[in-house]
Amino acid sequence: MYELIQVSERGYYIQSPAKIGLVRLEGQEVCLIDSGSDKDAGRKVRQHLDANGWKLTAIYNTHSNADHIGGNKYLQGQTGCRIYAPGIECGFTRHPVLEPSFLYGGYPCKDLRHKFLMAQESDVRELTAEHLPECLESIPLPGHFFDMTGFRTEDGVVYLADCLSSRETLDKYQISFIYDVAAYLDTLEKVKSMEAKQFVPAHAEASEDVSALARYNIDKVLEIAERITGLCGEPMCFEAILQRLFSDYGLTMNFEQYVLVGSTVRSYLSWLKDGGRLEALFEDNMLRWRRV
């Protein structure tokens, strides 16, 4: 774990639970694509920087989930590097309590205010084109989170952030986190047709071709949508739908899974309603969902 792997002349990644990209710039300067899950991940990154005599000038966060920004504060404090994040992700990175608050739908209890869902604050600026080095291009990848962004290096490495889950992860957990189902499917279709020397997804193996994996992710989204629609033959409230999904897929409920899977299921319900496949009914002061 935390091995430094080179995939092109300029492009590297650090093997970790959420892969950290590293791109060599001019001379000994480098930038990072994300920073890992916490201070310990930041220390591992710092060891690679020191071992190679590299100077960290910037961190480009793909999105604001805690496992991608958790090393920001440590690395910024150690190196003085600048940090950039796209759009809404910038606000969430500046104010990390927004992530568990958004997931829970209110002020999060202590069970949700921990490093896996709430990183430390860091001094971050909104990512715009002028902040990118010439060797790096941003790629909008919305859907998994609000304004998630990937990056392509000039020598053909594409860092895909969280838009792909591995087959093993999908087979084990079934329901991957999605904020906007329609945007996510559009992103997967775009990724399916992309070409690159090397793709580096944060939560799947690096590969020269991700089209089959993108298709697998698309199929899983459509499968979940069909299952939810099938459950709603009779009006069902959200909690009952969530319970059935956990039971049918053999998932274990806890606070983290409740907010992560629950938020995703709400996104599916919105998408299915907007697409005319479900309708919302208010009965006995309760919101219920029914197949159209």
Residue-wise pLDDT for 203-261, tens only, equals 999 999 999 999 999 999 999 999 999 999 999 999 999 999 999 999 999 999 999 99
State residue 148's pLDDT score: 98
State residue 32's pLDDT score: 98
C-alpha distances out from residue 196 to 14, 167, 216, 259, Å: 19, 21, 19, 35
Which residues, other chains included, contact 158 with Cβ-Cβ below 8 Å and sequence gap of 6+?
139, 150, 151, 152, 194, 196, 198, 199, 200
State residue 193's pLDDT score: 98
State residue 58's pLDDT score: 98
As a CATH number, domain 231-291 is: 1.10.10
Q: Do domains 4-221 and 231-291 have the same CATH topology?
A: no
Dig out the tokens for 235 from the structure. Answer: 């009006």
Residue-wise pLDDT for 34-93, tens only, equals 999 999 999 999 999 999 999 999 999 999 999 999 999 999 999 999 999 999 999 999
**Average pLDDT of the chain, as a whole number:** 98
Q: Where are the domains of the chain?
A: 4-221, 231-291
CATH second-level architecture of 4-221? 4-Layer Sandwich (3.60)
> 155 by DSSP, 3-state: which?
coil
CB atoms within 10 A of CB 237: 15
Q: Scan for tokens 């069909």, then name that residue.
A: 226
User: In whole angstroms, what is the distance from residue 186 CA to residue 146 CA?
Assistant: 14
Residues 130, 133, 139, 140, Cα dihedral to 10°: -40
Residue-wise pLDDT for 152-170, tens only, equals 999 999 999 999 999 999 9
Helix segments in 53-86, DSSP class H: 66-69, 72-79
